[in-house]
Amino acid sequence: MMSVFKVATAISIACCMTIVPGFAKEATETTEATEATQKPEPEANKPSETPLAIDLPNGQLPALPPQQSERIGLSIWGGLGFNYHTYSQKTSALGLDVKYETLRSPSYYLESAYKFEGGWRVFAKARLTPGVAKSSSSVELEKGKVSYIWYTYELEFAKLPKTYDFFGKQLEFGVRFGLQHHVVPFLVYRSLGVVGMSDNDLTMISLGPLAVVSDHGPIAYETFLRYQHPVAAGTKFSPESSLAFDGSVGAIFKWNQKWKMGLFWYGQYHKYSLAGSGGTRDTLHLFYSSLELRGAYTF
């Protein structure tokens, strides 16, 4: 009986040694095939997930596509608005110490602008800003009420050399400079106890920053601030010292490559110290604030 058991055991061991190696080989081949199908593609065949970067110096933005870029050439602007105007004059020789505040319309605006290649621009502008003065307890005006106009004429140049990234928008920043000629109101002596409204010429040189912000779309924003210094004056008065500046903020909508319209605020402030009689110093303060609707055509 023991001999039969030993023979059966030997046969079983021999069968296992024959079957198991074949099974192991089959399992190994199956595992290798599975790993081959799950193996990732080589890096060279995978699409790039990193966007291409455009490296421009000093944060400069790429140029706008032709349909969005500003046209090179001549633009004609015209506009109407209303303005708030204050006038203050202290003249010792006439015993004047008067102040006026008026809200008048319309004010008129006309501009011719030419844009050159390379960021240069030239402007010729005219502004007519109305006001009114009335008799009061401190002064008697001839006819009791006098209307006047503050005329402003400009010839200026601007240079916008570069374009910058400004919180995801396009910023053009530069400087503007030139000449301004003003015809400003001024009270003069007419007869005993009566004064009249006259005017005086002032020519100023101007200088200041200019900025234009856009988002490559139809809307752009423009702002500037200019300091003015007198270089010539008329016969009514010549300022011994002065503080004068003007500024503007506006939004421009482009209908297409030729037509534009915009809403602008514009302000002008002048303060003059004048030589009075007997060594006194007289003063003149002028200020106006205008809100204007303008339209333009580019040739």
pLDDT value at residue 166: 82
Strands 140-141, 194-214: pairing is parallel
Least confident of 32-46, 191-205, 258-272: 32-46
pLDDT value at residue 58: 56
Whole-angstrom Cα distance, residue 224 to residue 5?
111
- Whether the pTM exceeds 0.75: the reply is no
CATH code for 69-298?
2.40.128.90
Please say if the pLDDT value at position 195 is more than 90.
Answer: no
Mean pLDDT, to the nearest integer, of 13-28? 42
Whole-angstrom Cα distance, residue 220 to residue 49?
34
pLDDT value at residue 44: 46
Mean pLDDT, to the nearest integer, of 47-59? 50
% of the chain exceeding 70 in pLDDT: 74
Q: What residue segments make up the domains of the chain, in order of their start? A: 69-298
Whole-angstrom Cα distance, residue 296 to residue 171?
22
Please say if the pLDDT value at position 138 is more than 80.
Answer: no
